[in-house]
Structures are given as C-alpha cells and as structure tokens.
Amino acid sequence: MLGYIDNIREISKRLLDEGRVDMIIGFRKGTIPLMNEPCFVKNSGELSTLVWDSNCGINLANYLTDRKEKIGIVAKGCDSRNIVTHIIENKIKREKLVIIGIPCKGMVDKRKIAGMFENGIEDITEEDNIIRVKSRGVETSLNKSDLLQENCALCVHRNPVIYDELAAPLIEEQKSVDRYADVLRIEAMTAQEKWEYFKDLISPCIRCYACRNACPLCYCPTCFVDESRPQWCGKSQDEIDTRTFHFLRAYHCAGRCTDCGACERACPVGIKVRQFTSKLNKDCLDMFGWEAGLSPDQRPPLDTYKPADPGDFIK
Amino acid sequence: MSEREPKIVSFLCNWCSYGAADLAGVGRMEYPPNIRVIRIPCTGRMSPKFFLAALMQGADGVWVSG
Amino acid sequence: MEHMGVEPGRLSFSWISSAESTKFVDVVKEVTATVKALGPNINFKKTAKVA
C-alpha cells in the first residue's frame, strides 16, 4: 500500500494544477504513531504532507457533508460507499467531487498493536505485509494480516465502488469470509442473555459520542441526544440512557451503514460498537438484499416500497 | 392481591387504527383498559425514539398500529 | 430490539383499517395478553429519575 503515496500525490497535483478541485482531502502523518489524521490540501506545495499507509482508518466521507467547494477526495472501499450514501442523501453533489479511489488492503487495529507494547510505540513502519514497530529502541516485525481491524478482516468491498482516478490497480476482493459470525452467535442467545451481553458491552461507555462524531452517517444538525425538549434520552451514564443512545444510533444507521469501523476505531474505551450496527446490516442483506452505498442510482430499502417487502411482523 | 395490569403505550394512526378505536367506542365494544392511546398523524410519523422513550419511562409494552 | 435483548412481544405492530373495529378489539386483547404474559418491564425501565 505504500506505493500508493506517489500516485496519490501525483494525481492530486494534477487535479490542483488543472484547477479541477479546490482542495484535496486526504491523510497526513499524525503527531503520534498509528494515528494518521485527515488533512485538507489546498495548494500543490503542501502535497508532500499527504501519506497513505495502514493507519488511515478514519472515514473521510465524514468531511464532505454539505460542502460547496470542488473537492478531490482520497477514498478507500468503505469511504467510497459512504460517498455514494452522501450522494443519495443529497449531502454532496457528484459533480463537485473527484474521487481518488484506493483499493484498500485493510487498516490495522491500533488498539491491538498498542496493547502489545507496554512501553509505548515510538515509530511504526510497514512494508507489504510486514509491520515494524519500534518500542524503546527495540524493533519488532509483525504480520499485518494478524493485526487488521475486525471490519477490515471481514471486508468484501475493498475496491472503491465509485471513482474518477485510481491510485493503484484494483485488487481481488476477499471471498468466503464469514461476515456475520458475531451476529449469529448473539442471535442464538435468549432474551436475557442478550440483555446481559449488551449490558457488559456498553458498561464502559462514557457517552463521549466519539462514535457518533466519527461516523459519516451522523450529520443531523441536532443529534437526538442533544435535544432537551423533549429529552429523548438522559445525558448521564445511566445504563438505560446509554443503551437507548446506542440503540437509536444503530437504528439511524439501518440500511446506511457501510461497516467502515470508524465508530469502533474512535471509541476511547474500546467498545465494539459495530455489534449494534452489524445486526442491522445483516438484516438489510437478508430481507432486502441490500448493502449500503453500492450504487448511486438505487434508493435504499427504507425509503422505497416493494410488494415483496417482508411484513410478517405486522398483525 | 390482584394481578398487576400492564401499561401499553399505543401509537395509533389518525386515519386507520385511531378511526377503528373510535368506531369500537361508538359501537360500545369492550376491550382491555390497558392501552394508553397516542394519536399520530400517520404511522410514518413513528420514530424509534418514541418507543424507546416509552419503554424507558416505564411502559410495559408498545403497540404501533397503522 | 430483540437482538439487543428486549423481549419479543414488548413491541408489536399491526395494520387496521378505520372500519375494522372488531379487528381493533381483537388486537388490543391479543397485545394485552402477550404483554401480560411477559410480566412487567423491569429491564428497560429507568429506575433513577431523569436529572
């Protein structure tokens, strides 16, 4: 994936020089290892700050909402699907965008790596499938495929679904991954077990709403948790309030979530937030044959009616 | 001790079930007194936050009817 | 809802025309019976008052 950088810079330079875009949204190196941060490049002199490696897990579609400029955006598979969702939901115009597609080989789980090195991480470099971590002067080589984010390991849309430029040739999609093993495991539980499972899952939640802020789908001007008249859900760490927040956030993502994992990545206490959304993703696939953000010409299942829609739950 | 009566918050569509409830009343039909009716202009007005709020505030059940 | 541990039956949906008062009465009875069978809503109810 490292070879992508030159291509990204080259394409970006061309786009900026030709005046096709006002800015490029991409990644630059973060101030600490494992945390690349989004950046907006407006002139070609700053292009050297753009980077690409396995720490670019943030979903850049998040920065497109209601923008009016002409934007060039670096998009991996999940980003491109969220861009499609944005286009469907009229949050950005296709004509305003130049999408630089990145066939993505997965992002590494920063929590997994950080957990392996008690003494902190000074530097991290990578080469093909090897990640080299430097901690207190000692360098360790790790296999990248063991360190992928959970959603990346299960990803079946690594190639961008929509793009104008490509930074590298398309890659082969992963097949025969069992995407919903976790969901099936929970489905097999009884109501009480499920209740306890999710109680444990969200017990560390501090209601910082980082998952919401990182999510490209969450662009409501006022989020329901911030509304106070009526107050749908309390603002404390009360267990029921927390549960309501996670429930409702998941519902808002139904049929829209692309499983980009931004929520899980953003969570400071390491809650597996995707446990909430992946059930809805699975249901959408089973009931409507729908996966979010695959084509800008298709309306999502929750805003169309088809006679074949499942309705058995209605008496 | 008598059996505890559950409270069921019912969201009824103005044009469908609310009409049916009205008709049931006009026809002097008997039904359990456990439902607490909230009229909504259309079932499309329904939102997940409504039933979550209802359950959170102590409803034993929620019934949405269009 | 069910996936996250709320008992099935706490939440029900139905479709009744404004002319179907008999169906309305039937459904009310049915829903009441299901919820009664589940017992009181202990899990989801917020015990502490909203501050």
Write the ipTM.
0.77
Cα A286 from Cα A189, distance rounded (Å): 19
Residue A237 scores a pLDDT above 80: yes
State the average pLDDT over residues A177-202: 88
Which residues in chain B land under pLDDT 70? 1-3
Encode pLDDT of A90-124 as tens digits.
Answer: 999 999 999 999 999 889 998 888 888 888 888 88
C45 found inside a domain: no
Shared domain check, A158 and A217: no
C15 found inside a domain: yes
Shared domain check, A262 and A216: yes
C16 found inside a domain: yes
A135 found inside a domain: no
Q: Phi and psi dihedrals of A40, rounded to 5?
A: -110, 115
Domain boundary among A138, A173, A208: A173
* Residue of B14, B31, B36, B47 to mutate, interface with C, max C Cβ within 10 Å: B31
The range of the structural domain enclosing residue B45 comes to 13-65
Among C11, C24, C41, the residue with its CB nearest the CB of B17 is C24
Count of domains in chain C?
1
Shared domain check, A183 and A158: no
Encode pLDDT of A239-252 as tens digits.
Answer: 888 988 998 999 89
Shared domain check, A293 and A185: yes
A115 found inside a domain: no
Residue C50 scores a pLDDT above 60: no
In sign, the C-alpha dihedral spanning A287, A291, A296, A297 is negative
Interface of A with C in 231-290 (CB under 8 A): 231, 234, 236, 238, 240-241, 243, 247, 276, 279
Shared domain check, A278 and A187: yes
Q: Phi and psi dihedrals of A198, rounded to 5?
A: -75, -25
B50 contacts chain C (CB < 8 A): no
The range of the structural domain enclosing residue C10 comes to 2-38
The range of the structural domain enclosing residue A57 comes to 1-106+150-173
Encode pLDDT of A13-41 as tens digits.
Answer: 999 999 999 999 999 998 888 889 999 99
pLDDT band at A204 (very low <50, low <70, confident <90, very high): very high
Shared domain check, A154 and A187: no
Shared domain check, A68 and A163: yes
Among B15, B21, B61, the residue with its CB nearest the CB of C24 is B21
Shared domain check, A242 and A164: no
Count of domains in chain B?
1
Mean pLDDT, chain A, rounded, equals 89
SS (H, E, C) B9-38: EEEEECCCHHHHHHHHHHCCCCCCCCEEEE
Buried b (16+ CB within 10 A) or exposed e, A293-303: bbeeeeebbee
